[in-house]
Amino acid sequence: MLQFFKRLFGEKKTSVQSDEPSEKPKGLEKPTSAKPVQTEQLDEEYPDKQDHNKANIPVIDDPSLRVYNKPFRQSDDAENVVRIIQRPPEGTPKKVAEFVPIAGIKKQERNALRVITSKSFAIRLEKEPNNPYDKNAIRVFGDCEVDEEETSFSLGYIPKDVAKKLAEFNKLKATVRVIYLPTSSKSIGLRLDIWSERAKRKKIEENPYDKNIEVPARAVDKNLKGEELEREGYIENAIQIYEASLRDQPDNNYPYRRLVVIYRRRKEYDKEIKVIEQAISNFEDDNPLLENFKKRLERAKELADKVKEKE
């Protein structure tokens, strides 16, 4: 575990090597059963063909050569910088905050060093709604293996302003983006990306057709009005307006895009196919939607065939 720091600081003993506590350090807790994304230890030996710095971290400027969970540096990074690329954690594909520091990690430097030099580690976030100082508080833990035992160290908190913005998300997970190793003048630091679930699309209840809703005269107003009516649930009126827009401008992309979405949601595949074929016939060869609509046409036909098979 400490080979990494021997290479980084030389054979001189550091605070991590000396003054080793005989009892369980403060902040040590059992990790949760759900293990987040794992990061390989920084002691990982790299092939001799790669460039190394004093910390044995390879310099990789070409993004195509970087590997998930393998520490690396860029050539213009300081020698205490360690970068890591991690996949979005399972079940939380939406990034809701990035490059987030950990408040209070300086006081937990001993814990942080134990975490990043362990065989493997992962960052875990835990909300503290009963925290007396901040109801939005989010505590940061480092789950790792020490002496063949799974343990968890407290590393600090997500900054208060960021935690407030994250209050609306129920499930939060974190990945490591950058580690700033401690130097003679600076303490350790981590930067995290934070992930959550994608917001579930609210199902819009359709309202009956309203004959009092007028069709705007200008094409741009038609598109804006159609979008507004979709949000309000007047889908039949929106369809009427989009179709009117296409009669005025058959090569207008926007009405086609909205109509195919509406018909797909309604599972009215025959109508969707008709709109797509009309769009393709009116699109120029350099229209960016052309290839997309051709693929969509294939899928719409497949869905239509499945419906007919069930009938």
Q: Can you tell me the mean pLDDT for 207-222?
A: 93
Question: Is 219-310 a CATH 1.25.40.10 domain?
Answer: yes
Q: Of the spans 1-5, 62-66, 72-76, which averages the highest pLDDT? A: 72-76
pLDDT at 289: 85
The tens digit of pLDDT for each residue in 3-41 reads 444 344 333 333 333 333 334 444 444 443 333 344 444
Q: Can you tell me the mean pLDDT for 297-304?
A: 95
More confident residue, 49 or 93: 93
CA distances (Å), origin 250, targets 243, 246, 272, 307: 9, 5, 16, 30
- Report whether pLDDT(43) > 90: no
Residues of the chain with CATH 3.30.70.2330: 3-196
Share of the chain above pLDDT 70, in %: 81
> In degrees, to the nearest 5, what angle opens at C-alpha 15 toward C-alphas 11 and 17?
55
pLDDT at 247: 93
Q: Can you tell me the mean pLDDT for 248-266?
A: 93
User: What predicted TM-score, i.e. pTM, was given to this entire model?
Assistant: 0.55
pLDDT at 165: 94
The tens digit of pLDDT for each residue in 94-134 reads 999 999 999 999 999 999 999 998 888 999 999 999 999 99
pLDDT at 44: 42
pLDDT at 33: 34
Q: Can you tell me the mean pLDDT for 208-224?
A: 92
- Report whether pLDDT(292) > 70: yes
The CATH number of the structural domain formed by 3-196 is 3.30.70.2330
pLDDT at 29: 41
- Reference 254, options 269, 275, 273; nearest CA is 275
As a whole number, the mean pLDDT across the chain is 83
Signed CA dihedral, 296, 301, 304, 309: sign only:
negative
Report residue 192: phi and psi, to 5°. -115, 150
User: 95 and 193 in contact (C-beta within 8 Å)?
Assistant: yes
More confident residue, 219 or 171: 171
Q: Tokens standing for 142?
A: 């480092």
pLDDT at 241: 96
- pLDDT bin (cut points 50, 70, 90) of residue 55 is low
Residues of the chain with CATH 1.25.40.10: 219-310
- pLDDT bin (cut points 50, 70, 90) of residue 199 is confident
- Report whether pLDDT(181) > 80: yes
The tens digit of pLDDT for each residue in 145-179 reads 888 889 999 999 999 999 999 999 999 999 999 99
Residue 33 and residue 20: Cα distance in Å, rounded?
Answer: 28
pLDDT at 8: 40
